[in-house]
Amino acid sequence: MNQHKPRLGPGVVLEVNPATAAWKYLSFRVVKLPPRYTHAGQTANHEAAVVPLSGEMRVRVAGYTFDLKRQDVFSELPQVLYLPPGSEFVVEAITQAQLALGSAPAEGRYPLRLFRPEEMRREIRGGGNATRQVNHILGPDLPAERLLLYEVYTPSGFWSGWPPHRHDGRMGSLYIEETYYYRISPPTGWAIHRNYSPEDGLDELLLVRDGDLVLVPKGYHPVAAPPGSNVYYLNYMAGEALNEARATPPVDDPDWGWMRQDWAGRPLALPIGDETEPGQTHVRL
């Protein structure tokens, strides 16, 4: 099952791990907390990263206290709290709060650290109606062993993850697992997520609602935002790429890689037909 719906809170409303996802490295959860509620955990032999999604919260770990705050995912970049292996932590909600937490196996190469928005690279990627914003909130230029984190904003009527690309160990790509946590504005909107891998028959087209989680087990995975729906997704990624090798790019679908040189995508010219026909009219809807 590659699509997960959130449970009613408070507490953990979404959760996957290697056992439930049938993969090797990546664990992910979303936690909702009313004011004064807490969520405790330990990283054991994993590195982890906490991303505030909304509200105010306080994280206590290794004798330090970190105050994290975010209005919502559509308003501002987050702070990201990196937790090394062996960390015990407690998150306390100051207001109604929601956070994401993902983890992957690590050896403990990097220390506890708070990454701030000014350290995070923002990128306008693509072109035409495949234009989107990618925030490298724990990109390969920031220190972690396996984890990579991105936030992607796809405007109404646009596509992202385009050209379709893969990082599943095929076609020379590195093997990296990935979760897509979706928020949509307005909340009544939706998105379309496709996972496909021609080599082994995977081809699923998923209708995604606000708060859904989608796993990318292999293959290509583009996303479409229909007109009227602005789409955000948070990507946690982890796999065989370590340290600086996390910057290794994915591999494009060879049927669509040409679009990097022509983002307009050879659109059909309208209107179709002879405009000089007697009695012809064009109606703007």
Q: What is the pLDDT, as a whole number, of residue 1?
A: 82
Q: What is the pLDDT, as a whole number, of residue 147?
A: 98
Q: What is the pLDDT, as a whole number, of residue 9?
A: 85
Question: Token match 């996390």: residue?
Answer: 246
Q: What is the pLDDT, as a whole number, of residue 18?
A: 98
Three-class HEC string of 19-44: HHHCCCCCEEEEEEECCCCEEEEECC
The mean of the pLDDT values for the chain is 96
Tokens of 1: 């099952």
Q: Which CATH number fits domain 8-261: 3.40.50.12160, 3.40.50.2300, 1.25.40.10, 2.60.120.10?
A: 2.60.120.10
Q: What is the pLDDT, as a whole number, of residue 239?
A: 98
Q: How confident is the model at residue 27 (pLDDT cuts 50, 70, 90)?
A: very high
Question: Token match 């993902």: residue?
Answer: 102
- Give 191-210 pLDDT, tens digit per residue: 999 999 999 999 999 999 99
Give residue 194's Cα distance to chain centre.
14
Domain ranges for the chain: 8-261
Q: What is the pLDDT, as a whole number, of residue 283?
A: 58
What are the residues whose beta carbons fall under 8 Å from the beta carbon of 183, sequence distance 6 or more? 53, 72, 73, 74, 210, 211, 231, 232, 233, 234
